[in-house]
Chain A
């Protein structure tokens, strides 16, 4: 599978802060690829480098086979980074006309109409953007990213500021871009459920590094854990060691199924009362929380 984006040891520092720390990532062509990470993980820095807005401190990155800054490669890519803004005196249609011209295309009203329709802005097409809500700006941002009919688009938080029906429409649009239009979509979002529903593959970043990468199915399948409702929890955690994590009023034990009987015997042997034990599949959120260190571990519990 050819890669649309490749980075090798990509590093970006701001003073003493390493926003990207030797990131090596390969994003395959086709489908929807999610880039996840907590605030400060380096997602936006990565996108800004890929768009040529900032230069990396070291390492290399390529987009569509060309180095970052290669105009021919850049013309095959569209993007929407954070909430987009536009000259307030322009209408939505004029924004798309302007960007078409800026990108070397002839102004094509049919193409503009088509994308306005697909993002649900047909009725607002002749309104000035100064009166647009954040959600409408997001929709226009997606249309602006697509107006050149690129092979790759980068969408950073495309549903931010949208209402639930809008989020659902955007999710369907993103899926159809990949499935119907054959566009590779790279999506960054904090809404993990949305990512799990719409993405084919996911990269999880933390502190400028890639901590996990794979298909959503792979990531969630490998996270099957034994959910134990028991008391006292602290004693159980000492038995489980680094295999146990707290989730609400229960403990999740990351063990193979074959080890479950021995574990249960050990817990009972320690005088621990087990109310319930059942296997749960991991969702992307729990994988994310584990990989980014956002979850409570035995160490954090004992430290209290």
Chain B
């Protein structure tokens, strides 16, 4: 039954080519193409500078390490652009049945819990796809760098890096899902596709303002409970920094990772619980 809900959501999503493009493909394609342009411009500027300074035009021939690009891709897989464009997928999945008045076609044959979980799990799988595509784009960035600058390619991890990549991937995945939980709650309450798209953007923007100039105004330190609980983005950055920290780096304050983990968990589970409770008693004939 849950499997039916997941398969049907995945099928329907796959037929919506515009949404597939904007939510999954746009950012990786932009990043890969942008990488090629960036390398070409950099090479031209470097050659120009070399001519002006009467230096040899040859670049260093050290290899481009694709493992490093993979690591960077994993660390940036929940960047702001991915989060915003994944909202297109979230809005389509979570608010599509309100928008197209299709709840009535599927509610009699599956439980409401299964229908919502089917959407959530489909989104979680799409988040994996989006992250993989972004990491592939990160590797293409490195490959294009090697081609443009005629440098050799290598793929070598330093000690502990595979584990860090796995942690970063998991953390980024949680962050994408957590951010889209606000969309789920918005969809259930407002029944509006546009609101589902924009409320999380506005909330995220407001949180980024609080996390920037807002913190000193509020008298909060980034390590405070209040800051961590209010700003899931800050909590994500905190955990990411903990994963990426070099052994020689100064230790983070005691309990900071716990605060960040609690924040991300609450920002994931509370909107989910509220959305489920709301949806269970919702009149689905009004769409």
Chain A residues near B (Cβ < 8 Å): 44, 48, 51-55, 71, 74-75, 77, 79, 81, 84-90, 94, 97-99, 101-104, 144, 148
Residues of A within 8 A of B100 (CB): 85-88
Interface pair A71/B110, CB less than 8 Å apart: yes
Q: Specify the chain A residue showing the minimal Cβ separation from B18.
A: A89
Interface pair B110/A81, CB less than 8 Å apart: no
Interface pair A104/B104, CB less than 8 Å apart: no
Q: State the CA gap A85–B109 with chains docked (Å).
A: 18
Q: State the CA gap A176–B121 with chains docked (Å).
A: 41
Q: State the CA gap A119–B7 with chains docked (Å).
A: 26
Ranked nearest first, the 9 interchain pairs of A and B with the lowest CB-CB distance are: A102-B8, A74-B108, A53-B285, A85-B101, A48-B285, A104-B4, A101-B8, A53-B284, A51-B108
B24 to chain A, nearest CB (A): 16
Say whether, besides A101-B4, A102-B5, A104-B1, A71 and B109 are in contact (CB < 8 Å): yes
Say whether, besides A53-B103, A54-B285, A81-B104, A98 and B109 are in contact (CB < 8 Å): no
Interface pair B16/A87, CB less than 8 Å apart: yes
Q: State the CA gap A87–B15 with chains docked (Å).
A: 10
Say whether, besides A48-B285, A54-B285, A104-B1, A89 and B15 are in contact (CB < 8 Å): yes
B187 to chain A, nearest CB (A): 15
Say whether, besides A85-B100, A104-B1, A98 and B11 are in contact (CB < 8 Å): yes
Identify 10 new A-B residue pairs, CB closer than 8 A, beyond the known A79-B108, A84-B104, A102-B110. A71-B111, A81-B285, A84-B105, A87-B16, A88-B100, A90-B15, A98-B11, A98-B15, A104-B1, A144-B105
Q: Specify the chain B residue showing the minimal Cβ separation from A51.
A: B108
Chain A CB within 8 A of B241 CB: no
Q: Specify the chain A residue showing the minimal Cβ separation from B12.
A: A98
Residues of A within 8 A of B18 (CB): 89
Chain A CB within 8 A of B106 CB: yes
Contact with A along B30-59 (1 / 0, CB 8 A): 000000000000000000000000000000
Residues of A within 8 A of B16 (CB): 87, 89
Say whether, besides A54-B285, A77-B108, A87 and B4 are in contact (CB < 8 Å): no
- In chain B, positions 94-137 with a C-beta closer than 8 Å to chain A are 96, 100-111
Chain A CB within 8 A of B283 CB: yes
Residues of A within 8 A of B7 (CB): 101-102
Interface pair A53/B106, CB less than 8 Å apart: no
Residues of B within 8 A of A102 (CB): 4-5, 7-8, 105-106, 109-110
Residues of A within 8 A of B109 (CB): 71, 74-75, 102-104, 148
Q: Specify the chain A residue showing the minimal Cβ separation from B7.
A: A101
- Secondary structure of the A side of the interface? loop
Q: State the CA gap A283–B201 with chains docked (Å).
A: 60
A191 to chain B, nearest CB (A): 22
Residues of B within 8 A of A148 (CB): 109
B108 to chain A, nearest CB (A): 4
Q: State the CA gap A52–B104 with chains docked (Å).
A: 9
The answer, among A52, A90, A98, for a CB contact under 8 Å with B108, is A52
Q: Specify the chain B residue showing the minimal Cβ separation from A99.
A: B105
Q: State the CA gap A239–B107 with chains docked (Å).
A: 56
Interface pair A101/B1, CB less than 8 Å apart: no
Q: List 13 A-B contacts (CB under 8 A).
A: A52-B107, A53-B103, A53-B284, A55-B281, A81-B285, A84-B101, A90-B12, A98-B11, A101-B4, A101-B7, A102-B5, A103-B106, A144-B105
B48 to chain A, nearest CB (A): 48
B59 to chain A, nearest CB (A): 48
- In chain B, positions 14-33 with a C-beta closer than 8 Å to chain A are 15-18
Residues of A within 8 A of B111 (CB): 71
Most chain-A CB neighbours within 10 Å: which of B4, B11, B284? B11
Interface pair B285/A94, CB less than 8 Å apart: no
Q: Specify the chain B residue showing the minimal Cβ separation from A102.
A: B8
Residues of A within 8 A of B283 (CB): 53-54
The answer, among B5, B15, B107, B110, for a CB contact under 8 Å with A51, is B107
Residues of A within 8 A of B108 (CB): 51-52, 74-75, 77, 79
Q: State the CA gap A48–B5 with chains docked (Å).
A: 21
Residues of B within 8 A of A101 (CB): 4, 7-8, 11
A17 to chain B, nearest CB (A): 14
A130 to chain B, nearest CB (A): 10
Q: State the CA gap A54–B287 with chains docked (Å).
A: 12
Q: State the CA gap A104–B8 with chains docked (Å).
A: 9
B65 to chain A, nearest CB (A): 42
